[in-house]
Amino acid sequence: MSLVGTGEIVAPAAHGGYGVGAFNVIQLEHAEAIVAGAEAVGAPVVLQISENAVRYHGGLAPVGVAALEVARAAAVPVAVHLDHATETAMVEEAVRLGFGSVMFDASVLPYEENVRVTTEVVRLCHASGVWVEAELGEVGGKDGVHAPGARTDPAEAAEFTARTGVDALAVAVGTSHAMLTRTASLDLDLIAALRAAVTVPLVLHGSSGASDETLAAAVVHGMTKVNIATHLNKAFTAAVRGRLTADSALVDTRAYLGAGREAVAREVAHLLGVLSVRRPAVAAS
């Protein structure tokens, strides 16, 4: 139990045909809540720290070390992952701190440049046993730099994974980051085609915009790692807002942040149940 490599969670899920929840950590309360939710249902989980969260904290170590310590104390397998890193220096720091994986995002670069720099990151990380995720086919909504409606081509995805040696691939199939409504429409046929073409686990970014039913369908069609951030932030904020509204004299931050932590733990437990669905062909084998 406790802290494990990301591949130790994602690889068995890909082989078994079920989904893995990867949830973003911004404050310590997020990490505690995510692990509590995973423990409630006895499921492994991935704690993700984005480059934007690192900038918020002024560095990777404060939030990264906290997440690692929460993972080490967990009663279920927990991995710690650096998400959407665009700087090699930050990747190197994550490796030094003991992160189990990094997602290196060079998707805004021309294809050949994406291949070149991603291959370099894979070489660096694999030398320390760290698992690497990359992105191909821009996912919308990330700082306004990705084109809406972009999709990942299966043949290009197969070539990219073979050339770079990445351990997982984030693909564009209809989601968008930072969605506040769960109305995203996923191209399930494209997910199935990507699953057939690519030998590494597929990753769904921008999953907060997908309904429970859509997330389950994505797993059934071939997704493995499912990233969720905004949806949990909505639950956290609503609980904090409700607690402060109910008691205008409240000043103890533990009281209202605790309410947010409890709300996130409940939602994580629920979402892990949604993602536990298995692909029929795998379940029958």
Domain ranges of the chain: 2-284
Which residues are catalytically annotated?
A: 83
**What letters, b where the CB count within 10 A reaches 16 and e where it falls short, cover 154-179?**
beebbbbbeebebbbbbbbbbbbbeb
The span from the CA of 268 to the CA of 263, in Å, is 9
CATH topology of domain 2-284: TIM Barrel (3.20.20)
Closest to 191 in 3D by CA, of 206, 178, 177, 201:
201
- Distance CA(136)–CA(153), nearest Å, equals 9
Per-residue confidence in pLDDT tens, the chain, 285 aa: 699 999 999 999 999 999 999 999 999 999 999 999 999 999 999 999 999 999 999 999 999 999 999 999 999 999 999 999 999 999 999 999 999 999 999 888 888 999 999 999 999 999 999 999 998 865 444 433 234 567 889 999 999 999 999 999 999 886 555 554 555 567 889 999 999 999 999 999 877 667 888 999 999 999 999 999 989 999 999 999 999 999 999 999 999 999 999 999 999 999 999 999 888 765 444
Query: What phi and psi, each to the nearest 5 degrees, are found at residue 173?
Result: -135, 15
Q: What is the pLDDT of residue 145?
A: 28
At residue 179, the pLDDT reads 54
For position 285, what pLDDT does the model report? 40
Do 130 and 95 form a contact (C-beta atoms < 8 A)?
Answer: yes
Look up residue 163 and give its DSSP letter: H
Locate the DSSP E strands across 2-112.
2-3, 20-24, 45-50, 77-85, 101-104
Which conformational region is residue 17 in: left (phi greater than 0), alpha (psi within -120 to 50 degrees), or beta? left
Distance in angstroms (rounded) separating the CA atoms of residues 48 and 133: 12
Q: What is the three-class DSSP state of 160?
A: helix
